[in-house]
Amino acid sequence: MSSLTYDLTLAGLSVGSAAALTGIGLVVTHRATGVLNFAHGAIAMVCAYVLRSCVVDRGWPLWPAAVVTLLVLAPAIGVVLERFVFRPLAVLGSDPTQTLVASIGVFVLLVGGAALLWGPGARDDAPELVAADPWGQTAVVLVLAAGVGAVIRWTRFGRELRAVVDDRRLAALGGIDANRVAAAGWAFGSFTAGLTGVLLAPYVRLDPYGLPLLVMEVVAVAVAARMRSLPVAVVVALGIGIAQSQLTRLHPSGRGAPLLQAVGANLFVVALLVAALVLPGVATRDAAPRPPAARVRTPPAAWIVAGVLFLLPLGLAGPDLHTAVQVPALAVILLSLVVVTGRGGQISLGQAAYAGLGALFTALLAAGRFPGLPRLPELAALAVAVLLVAPLGLLTGWPAIGRRGLALALATFAVGVGVSRFVLAQPYAVSGLSLGRPAGFDGDRAYYVLELVLLGVALPATRALRRGRTGRALAAMRDHEAGASAAGVRVPSLKLLAFVVGAALAALGGAMLGMGLRAFDAGAYDPVRSLLWFAAVVVLGADSTLGALAAAALLVGLDAGARGGVAAALVGVLAVLVGRFPHGPYEAVRERAERVRARLWPSGELTPLGARLRARLRPGARPRPGEEQERPAAGRPVRAAARTRPSRPPSVLTARGLHARYGGFAALGGVDLEVRPGRVTAVVGPNGAGKSTLFHCLAGTLRPARGKVLFDGRDITRLPAHARTRLGIARTFQQLAVFPSLTVEENVRVGAEQGRGGAEEAVERALALFGLDGTVRARPAAGLPTGTLRRVELARAFAGDPRVLLLDEPAAGLDTAEVSALARVLGALAADGTALLVVEHDLDLVADLADVVHVMAAGRIVASGPPGRVLGTSTAREAPA
């Protein structure tokens, strides 16, 4: 081995060892708590700063300071985070998105706090804890990984750790102290973060923004290890470190040389892109999100106040007006997050990349340096830049089709980091670039007026996505993605739309921000900004356009009027407390006011005049005690209502030789089934018999390994759920799949708008059939009783004019009267020619309703026939009642 190769290998081992420490900490924390600790890099930065402060500023000896920092402070940070931030979220059963927001909040809080305490500037005098001995560092990493692996694999604590990760509540019922296990995982993860920080600080820039991002770029090693395997994390980290070091000997030439050099110098970023975008998504066991609250109209007075506040800077001058110029631009960027996260329910941690591309493309177009396009005036350059960046939203929109939760967060974060490192921060793209203001708007006051006009265009565009057919479809996708797909919503196309519109808005805001500053500054669009902006929008109400305006004013105003870092610290505190007001502070205040009013007026009754006024002023409000309630479906002329549908040809749904496997387990072993029109076909059997798997294969949410699903002789095996719904195959869910933020009528309208009939007639017909045409139609689905929600879900499916209706345990959660009413409705639908398939545990309902019953066991149909003959078999009796 040549001397150069050996030296580069040693340098690569040093970098890889630090990356391996990060990977070990992230994997252990995730295995102990299920949380991807986005604050890992921030903890590393804080520990590096504390060690430097103790040694350099206070004169402590190095090793006692290191002991205090690594063995006391770092684990203490982890324990505090577990106890006061993540344990309450786990107890409340928060969804992974809220946990992710809390983790980002900790990151932002620590970064902002560090900027306040130590200033935003970089330090180059961090103490060197150990000599630059790569072999020694590698040995420490290998011993640490082996020790941790042995503890997890062969000790009682390791068994408890695996149990807590698999099911925290079940582990607690088994006598395991889940809190202790989680606290130990956080303490160890924070220790590795601190060790990484103090090892890296002497060789990189120690500043509140650079070091945390540098550490988080190597999250690729943990993703490559599937957040589970320590040996894989260590091997990948050392391999990438060595490869990145060896690539420095290459000196490419030609037009692509700068980009190739950037790739070679940022191989961990390349690995992050590959791990997040190419490898299968991690954390696919994410729980279903917590249902959002009902949508509440923003009071008109709030908009009046916001308008007045945004007009006030026109009376300012000098530095104050120059600072205020940033607010409308940032507001437009934050509106992009309202579209993607608030409206579409998708996590996006890369919006700063699109904002930076908008500013970069505008500057290139205005300078005549954009390939293939002539020089353009600034306003024209701005418009063209937005059009060019909008399709690039597919970079994050496409991964969103098959990813959600943590996997989607990593994918969007990887795109943001990649754009920052390989485009915005590279001299070949930005060298000598300036960004001026449009002609006639060079002054701050004139430019602020232009920004208000552009903001006035962006606001209605954002609000339009909350109304109409598209708005309802977006709300349905956000509330319950599987339910939206079952209602016929084209979920993949809708996700792409949200990301494309979000990219366009971010590009518009980014270009406005660059023009306001009269320069293209890549630092204004770094990935840390994405995390800060995402946290700010979420904590102030992700679905609130007014919240985005408030967040922009808060971020600009606090940092302009005080030492840098105040805004980040405040947003971090609010994000850490996200579990206490998951729908934003405004919603929390409103709910608190409702509770106070309920205590002051416990009866809640209104006079007849008050009830009429309230109904006129607030048509969507819930009726008070004594007011008209919804009419039950029982006793309604259900058969007549069912027959008001337009006639349509009967259809047959057929399954032929369906096989399905989960890992090594055969869930279906060659199932043949026919669902005929005008009949109720029931499937029963014990738990684990394969009923749900068969149902999912028919509904389109699971593709069988072998076999076919036919609809009127057409092979639909490969069609997704929403395409089957549009053909006339509707379904319901065992666990309710309604859209809580929409009213009852809007829930039903979503199904009608995606169906094959006239929407208005279908909505009224479905509401009447299921007894939802009273005042309940205007009430939000959030908080309604289970029986009413079952009818809402059935009405939504019926409104799409289905020819085949698949029902997954429709009687779950209903009382006797509601079950009887349900049986009458389903019987009327079958009499009208609809083909019904019912998977049900209530054998009494099956006996009264079904025309033919299939009994499943071990993935096969073992008995078929009329209910009176089949339900007496021993296999059928094993089905839970």
pLDDT band at 68 (very low <50, low <70, confident <90, very high): very high
Question: Could you tell me the sign of the dihedral formed by the alpha carbons of 266, 267, 270, 276, in that order?
Answer: negative
User: In whole angstroms, how far apart are CA 336 and each of 307, 418, 460, 530?
Assistant: 20, 20, 13, 12
pLDDT, tens digit, 9 for 90 and up, residues 836-853: 999 988 888 888 888 899
pLDDT for 630 beyond 70: no
Considering the domain 3-118+134-277 in this protein, what is its CATH number?
Answer: 1.10.3470
Instruction: Using DSSP bridges, classify how beta strands 835-839 and 680-684 pair: parallel, antiparallel or unpaired.
Output: parallel
What average pLDDT does the segment 675-690 reach?
Answer: 88
Cβ distance 516 to 767 under 8 Å?
no
pLDDT, tens digit, 9 for 90 and up, residues 336-354: 999 999 888 888 999 999 9
736: nearest Cα among 291, 169, 95: 291
Instruction: Using DSSP bridges, classify how beta strands 729-731 and 804-808 pair: parallel, antiparallel or unpaired.
Output: parallel
pLDDT, tens digit, 9 for 90 and up, residues 313-322: 888 888 888 8
Report yes or no on whether pTM surpasses 0.85.
yes
pLDDT for 657 beyond 80: yes
Report pLDDT for 709: 92
Contacts within 8 Å (CB) and 24+ apart, 449-453: 449/314, 451/325, 451/328, 451/329, 451/512, 451/516, 452/310, 452/311, 452/328
pLDDT for 631 beyond 50: no
Paired strand residues for 807 = 838
Paired strand residues for 853 = 682, 865
- Give residue 705's Cα distance to chain centre: 29
- Give residue 583's Cα distance to chain centre: 14
Report pLDDT for 583: 58
What average pLDDT does the segment 594-616 reach?
Answer: 62
What average pLDDT does the segment 586-607 reach?
Answer: 63
What average pLDDT does the segment 220-224 reach?
Answer: 85
Cβ distance 659 to 703 under 8 Å?
no
pLDDT band at 296 (very low <50, low <70, confident <90, very high): low
pLDDT for 205 beyond 70: yes
Q: Which fold has domain 650-877?
A: Rossmann fold (3.40.50)
Element spanning 865, H or E: strand 860-865
Report pLDDT for 608: 66
> Could you please report the per-residue DSSP string of 747-779?
HHHHHHHHSSS-HHHHHHHHHHHTT--SGGGGS
**Separation of first and last alpha carbons in the chain:** 72
783: nearest Cα among 746, 744, 734, 733: 744
- Dist CA 547 CA 462 (whole Å): 13
pLDDT, tens digit, 9 for 90 and up, residues 807-816: 988 888 778 8
User: In whole angstroms, how far apart are CA 398 and each of 217, 346, 356, 505?
Assistant: 22, 12, 20, 18
- Dist CA 813 CA 797 (whole Å): 19
What values do phi and psi take at 179, rounded to 5? -65, -40
Buried b / exposed e along 327-358 (16+ C-beta atoms within 10 A): bbbbbbbbbbbbbbbbbbbbbbbbbbbbbbbb
Residue with tokens 């996708």, as numbered in its chain = 477
Report pLDDT for 132: 65
Question: Could you tell me the sign of the dihedral formed by the alpha carbons of 27, 29, 31, 35, in that order?
Answer: negative
Q: Helix and strand tally (H, E) in the chain?
A: 42, 10
Q: What is the mean pLDDT of the chain?
A: 82
- Dist CA 86 CA 742 (whole Å): 30
Between 62 and 575, whose confidence is greater?
62
What average pLDDT does the segment 30-49 reach?
Answer: 86
Beta-carbon contacts of 160 under 8 Å, excluding residues fewer than 6 positions away, are 171, 176, 177, 181
User: In whole angstroms, how far apart are CA 275 and each of 104, 195, 278, 349, 588?
Assistant: 20, 25, 6, 16, 38
What values do phi and psi take at 19, rounded to 5? -65, -35
User: Which 3 state secondary structure label does DSSP give 658?
Assistant: strand
- Dist CA 785 CA 847 (whole Å): 26
- Each domain of the chain, given as residue ranges in start order, spans 3-118+134-277, 325-526, 650-877
pLDDT band at 450 (very low <50, low <70, confident <90, very high): very high
237: nearest Cα among 195, 277, 267: 267
pLDDT, tens digit, 9 for 90 and up, residues 457-510: 999 999 888 888 889 999 999 888 888 998 888 999 999 999 999 999 999 999
Report pLDDT for 836: 92
Instruction: Using DSSP bridges, classify how beta strands 665-675 and 653-662 pair: parallel, antiparallel or unpaired.
Output: antiparallel
Report pLDDT for 366: 92
- Dist CA 445 CA 130 (whole Å): 55
If you compute the radius of gyration of the chain from its CA atoms, what whole number of angstroms results? Answer: 30
Report pLDDT for 286: 41
Question: Could you tell me the sign of the dihedral formed by the alpha carbons of 356, 358, 363, 367, in that order?
Answer: positive
Helix H, strand E, coil C: the string for 799-850 is HCCCCEEEEECCCCCCCHHHHHHHHHHHHHHHHCCCEEEEECCCHHHHHHHC
